[in-house]
Amino acid sequence: MVETFYLHLEFRYKNGVWSINLPFLCSKCGVCCTLEDFLTAGEITANPSSHLETHAKVKILFEALGKIWEGSESEYDKYVQQNPCPFLVDKSCSIYEIRPEGCRLFPKTAFGMQTQDCEPLNRYKRMRTALRKGRSAKETYHFSDASQETIKPSKFTKEQYRTSIKQTTPRRHNRRRISPVQPLQ
């Protein structure tokens, strides 16, 4: 299972509740993988003894950035804003399995939702706005990862299915409308 960040929207109507999960579909464009974002994403929590090279690279990076900071705060700001994450290789995260928590939770992070150059995130924001337009909804954010079970579809009894179809199917000239959705057995 792929790790997925998604927004669950729940709409209440007089005849019931309707909900939808809106996933963030990453295109791996690398926009979120700036050095500034990496530095605010948190620590790499993997065991240093099993990831020697990664932890050595982080230590070297922090020492170099410390020297730049001591020399000039404006040079430091310029450097972190213009350089990508050191673990971004060919538009792909080279430490994906052990990446910091902030990177795992993107775009639901302090820096994530403010990003404007990420087309998948802009599309996600537009879809959220379109779904909510003129409606009040309860919003909850979720993150599914490889260790969690997949979300199982709802199962209805035949009577529940008939009732839901009857409530949502508009009546037109006493014609019976056939729904393409069938009840789960």
Whether residue 38 is found in the same domain as residue 80: yes
Whether residue 66 is found in the same domain as residue 123: no
Q: Which of 20-24, 102-106, 165-169 has the lowest mean pLDDT?
A: 165-169
Of the residues 68, 84, 105, the one at which a domain ends: 105
Whether residue 38 is found in the same domain as residue 85: yes
Instruction: Kindly state the average pLDDT of the residues 147-156.
Output: 46
When divided into structural domains, the chain yields a total of 3
Of the residues 42, 70, 105, the one at which a domain ends: 105
pLDDT recorded at residue 40: 74
- Contact indicator for 32, 116 with CB cutoff of 8 Å: no
Q: Rounded to an integer, what distance in angstroms lies between the CA atom of residue 184 and that of residue 151?
A: 16
Reply yes or no on whether the pLDDT at 180 is more than 70: no
pLDDT digits (tens, 9 = 90+) for 122-149: 898 899 889 888 888 888 887 776 554 4
Instruction: Kindly state the average pLDDT of the residues 108-132.
Output: 82
Flag whether 111 is in a domain.
no
Residue 85 per-residue DSSP state = -
Whether residue 83 is found in the same domain as residue 132: no
* pTM summary value: 0.58
Instruction: Kindly state the average pLDDT of the residues 7-15.
Output: 86
Whether residue 78 is found in the same domain as residue 88: yes
Reply yes or no on whether the pLDDT at 182 is more than 60: no
Q: Rounded to an integer, what distance in angstroms lies between the CA atom of residue 39 and that of residue 41?
A: 6
Residue 170 per-residue DSSP state = P
Flag whether 183 is in a domain.
yes
Reply yes or no on whether the pLDDT at 62 is more than 60: yes
Q: Which H or E element spans position 33?
A: none
Reply yes or no on whether the pLDDT at 3 is more than 70: no
- What domain range includes position 159? 153-185
Amino acid at 122: N
Reply yes or no on whether the pLDDT at 61 is more than 50: yes
Reply yes or no on whether the pLDDT at 39 is more than 70: yes
- Residue 15 half-sphere exposure, CB side, CA atoms within 13 Å? 7
Reply yes or no on whether the pLDDT at 170 is more than 70: no
Q: Rounded to an integer, what distance in angstroms lies between the CA atom of residue 180 and that of residue 134?
A: 28
At 67, the pLDDT band (50, 70, 90 cuts) reads very high
Nearest to 4 by CA among 22, 20, 18, 19: 22
Flag whether 44 is in a domain.
yes
Instruction: Produce one character per residue of 2-26: b if its CB has 16 or more CB atoms within 10 Å, e if not.
Output: eeebbbebeeeeeeeeeeeeeebeb
Q: Rounded to an integer, what distance in angstroms lies between the CA atom of residue 138 and that of residue 135?
A: 10
Whether residue 77 is found in the same domain as residue 67: yes
Reply yes or no on whether the pLDDT at 33 is more than 50: yes
Reply yes or no on whether the pLDDT at 90 is more than 50: yes
